[in-house]
Structure 1
Amino acid sequence: MDGPVNGSNFNLRDEIKAYWSERAATFDQSPGHEIFSEEEREAWHRLIARHLGAGQGRTALDLASGTGVVSLLLDDLGFDVTGLDWAEPMLERARAKADAKGRRIAFRLGDAENTMEPDNHYDVITNRHLVWTLVDPEAAFAEWLRILKPGGSVLIVDGDFVNATSFGRLIQQLASIAQRLGFTPSETAQLPQQLVETHRNILSRVHFADGARADAVVELLRKAGFQDITIDTDLRRIHRAQAKHMDFWKGLARGSQHRYAIKATKAT
């Protein structure tokens, strides 16, 4: 799955890195990426604190930290945060945000599937919308277990972005009808068509090409050695806040999607 493309040494991981590097310039323009209200920020704080508790100076590694959204949330809660991302343009924006807010967050270049971090080093690991892009999640989860301290936890926020629910499909149909009848304008694509096609091509070749269902993620976490695994699908506060900054149909669909937070713990 991660072999050379067209006989070159540019493999799938390289393609993913290049894609997110190009996305960095407009990443924060999308609801669901950046946070656009204090209501949503508070909802994220509640979710993180519910699973990880107060920071109290504990060490946190935010994997695929992107422009630093989750890293800043962790810093809000009192964690000692390191953000790791392998797209330098994302890191540049994350550092600028942290500097503007006077935050002491270390943002470093690195691969979430092979972090090069020390054994038993972090109290918590977080990531948002990373797992669905993993080329080898089984190896990645083993890596995360290695760098967590005994008793440490990982919090994964992700979803199945491939398969729509029956309600989601109904919303798509109604949105299409409304646009054809002229009741709502066609949504202007936020990404150039080339990037849309690149995204689809990458998605078709990652491990979770058929959708990152929570139970499949849990199975691989258990296989890696994680314990006390819980699935939380109550992300309604976050989704309601995000929907206020989306068009009507996209906002309505957000709450119908299979999105979740998974917490898993390393044995003491």
Structure 2
Amino acid sequence: MQTAAALSNHDLRDEIKAYWSLRAETFDSQPGHEIFSEEERAAWHSLLRRHLGDGEGRQALDLACGTAVVSHLLDDLGFRVTGMDWAEPMLERARAKAKTRGRQIRFLMGDAENTMEADASYDVVTNRHLVWTLVDPLAAFREWHRVLKPGGKLLVVDGDFVNPGLVAKLAKRLAVMVSRFTGESSKPQNGPATGAMTETHQSILSRVYFSQGARAEAVADLLRQAGFSTVTIDTDMRAIHRTQKKNFSFLKGLERATQHRYAICAVK
């Protein structure tokens, strides 16, 4: 893991922004991003309720909201939601989706590491698959702590996508072998759509703070350094994975289910 000072360069952040702008076109068509069944939606609701409770009109900030998948889940539970993303193509799709579904979700273009929102303005801050992309996570965590009200909660949903476990490694090798015989692609079904995008993804991953993998304990330690208390790591993502595997091949579903994925809840 490299130091944040060595990684704080504007060019990398521009690359990350451009990459996710390009990914917007296919984001909602990929399993693991958009929700494909009511069973999966219920599993996500259960995770959110477990850590955040029902919304009851509380203010929630969904950072790096993308096409607003988590924003809609929070809206389902009764939160008043603001979705923030710095990729305009993602926000265009998020706004269109909310309009189609008749949802009153507020969307802002902004930087998750420097939101420019007021101090103590949110009861809840959420993000999914954002932390592994951060250039300076400690600064970002301090920013999220700042915008939360006293007693407010942060919920991080993320994973280590660099260091697969033994089962995941075997599943990936088997997937490659199967593809040779059947012609089925071994490329991750929720990953970049082209070889060039895959190369860009790997280049970015090699230069972010968590280039060696965003392990839950390392993330939790930085959250404590940022001032959060009662930091809870939840690795029970089985209900979500069970519903998602219907949209993956057996081997790819097995690989996904055995990755180090987690939710971390931290209190201000």
Q: Sort the TM-score into its range (normalised by shorter chain).
A: over 0.9
Higher helix share goes to which structure? 2
Letter matched to residue 146 of structure 1: R
Shift of 1:188: 5.9
In the alignment, which residue of structure 1 is the partner of 2:102? 102
Pairwise mapping of residues 50-65 of structure 1 onto structure 2 (< 5 A)? Answer: 50-65=50-65
Q: Which has the higher contact order (CA 8 A, sep 6+)?
A: 2
Shift of 1:183: 4.8
Shift of 1:146: 0.4
Shift of 1:3: 5.6
Pairwise mapping of residues 1-268 of structure 1 onto structure 2 (< 5 A)? Answer: 1-2=6-7, 11-180=11-180, 182-183=181-182, 185-187=184-186, 191-266=193-268
Once residues 187 and 54 of structure 2 are traced to their aligned partners in structure 1, the CA distance between those partners, rounded to angstroms, is 41
What is the root-mean-square deviation of aligned Cα atoms in Å? 1.3
Per the normalisation by structure 1, the TM-score is 0.94
Per the normalisation by structure 2, the TM-score is 0.94
Once residues 53 and 3 of structure 1 are traced to their aligned partners in structure 2, the CA distance between those partners, rounded to angstroms, is 36
What percentage of aligned pairs have identical amino acids?
65
SS at match of 1:244: helix
Once residues 175 and 82 of structure 2 are traced to their aligned partners in structure 1, the CA distance between those partners, rounded to angstroms, is 41
How many residues are paired up? 260
- Cα distance per residue 1:88-120 (max 9 Å; x no partner): 000000000100111100011000000000001
SS at match of 1:197: helix
User: Residue 84 of structure 1 contacts residue 108 of structure 1 at CA under 8 Å; is this kept in 2?
Assistant: yes
In the alignment, which residue of structure 1 is the partner of 2:3? none
User: Residue 8 of structure 2 contacts residue 136 of structure 2 at CA under 8 Å; is this kept in 1?
Assistant: no
Unaligned runs of 5+ in 2: 1-5
SS at match of 2:247: coil
SS at match of 1:83: strand
Once residues 59 and 194 of structure 1 are traced to their aligned partners in structure 2, the CA distance between those partners, rounded to angstroms, is 39
Letter matched to residue 25 of structure 1: E
SS at match of 1:209: coil
Letter matched to residue 35 of structure 1: I
